[in-house]
Amino acid sequence: MSNRIRSYQKPLAIIAFGAMLLFLPSLLGDYFIHLVTTVLLFGYLGVAWNILGGYAGQFSFGHAAFFGVGAFTSTLFQIHMGVNPWAGMFLAGIAGLLLGMFIGFLTFRYGLRGPYFALAMLALAEMLRVLAVEWMTLKYPLGIILPLKGDSFWDFQFRSKVPYYYIILCMAILVLYLSRIIEDKRIGLYFKAIRENENAAETLGVNTFKYKMVAMAISSFLTAMGGTFYAQYYLTIDEEAAFGVAVSIEILLGPIIGGAGTVFGPILGATILECLSEGSRNLLGAYSGVHLMLYGAILITVIIFLPKGILGGLQTVLAIFKKRR
């Protein structure tokens, strides 16, 4: 009887949590809906980064490149060619994927690993930021503002924040489901083998170049789509918000703190960081940059005491506990 009850616990917990997320906007005001939407956005971006940096072990310090390309692609297609933003989101994903394939081919083909790959990604994002600064100085010195279309699902614009919440919730659920599939399938084992020891994986017959390119393709495509959501949510973009180093840092901090290489670690990390950021801005608004100092303190603490992140540390503790039992 007890085993039967336990078998129902997990599905019931998932249903209860899903119902809570579904009805959450009716319980919150606009400010907290915005906060949860931001958490889900950076949780989504963290999961996208995690496929490349967490599972495949290719630490990217420049995912702002894909984020910014996604935001600019959909926005410029919409303004200059009248492309629907939903179609623009897919085109943005393709643009991010092509950029990812280009930089992935150059870096993976010539054997860049570890800090060298991270620096190459940072250089790519900075190069795109500088190009965007020079171009926007001439074309859009005040930033790009999307034309207002009113309250329309077709135009991806809403007066209320609630529809944006549900859209990013669906995106986050889908990317989590994809991450779970990757973790359970053979491709996930190949990613982890590359992460743990790339030379050993090659010796065992794993095509490391192929699977690193696959991880890059998935990660860059999803990140670029997140850039489109950002552009539609704020209805304005500029070079710093799209390609800035701060964007890359915020994307990767969630997985590192929550647990790189875990399904829900990026969501947990994004929740902690965004709540901390908002709380510090409200309580210490007069002291600019305090939230960044708190980010650094948390990151140092996690790296020293929980090198696998919060969820990774919990999984290790549970594994030890089960062995002792």
Least confident span in 17-21, 184-188, 201-205 = 17-21
Q: Determine the average pLDDT of the residues in 259-265.
A: 91
pLDDT at 58 over 60: yes
What's the pLDDT at 13?
A: 67
For the chain, the average pLDDT equals 88
- Domain ranges in the chain are 37-324
What's the pLDDT at 175?
A: 96
pLDDT in tens, 22-54: 888 888 888 899 999 999 999 999 999 999 999
Amino acid at site 277: S
Q: How far apart are CA 114 and CA 219, in angstroms?
A: 17
| Measured distance between the N- and C-terminal CA atoms of the chain, rounded to whole angstroms | 22
Q: How far apart are CA 323 and CA 292, in angstroms?
A: 39
Structure-model confidence comparison of residues 113 and 286, the more confident one:
113
When pLDDT is cut at 50, 70 and 90, the band that residue 6 belongs to is: low
Specify whether the CB–CB gap between 206 and 193 falls below 8 A.
Answer: yes
C-beta neighbour count of 274 within 10 angstroms:
22
Q: Which of 127, 92, 137 is nearest to 106 (CA)?
A: 127
Q: How far apart are CA 159 and CA 238, in angstroms?
A: 22
Q: Directed axis angle between helix 309-324 and helix 290-305, to 10°?
A: 30
| pTM listed for this prediction | 0.92
User: 90-125: buried (b, 16+ CB within 10 Å) or exposed (e) per residue?
Assistant: bbbbebbbebbeebbeebbeeebeeeebbebbbebb
Share of the chain above pLDDT 70, in %: 92
Half-sphere exposure for 202 (CA within 13 Å, toward CB): 8
Q: Distances from the Cα of 43 to the Cαs of 26, 64, 174, 270, 300, in angstroms? A: 22, 15, 12, 5, 20
CATH number of 37-324: 1.10.3470
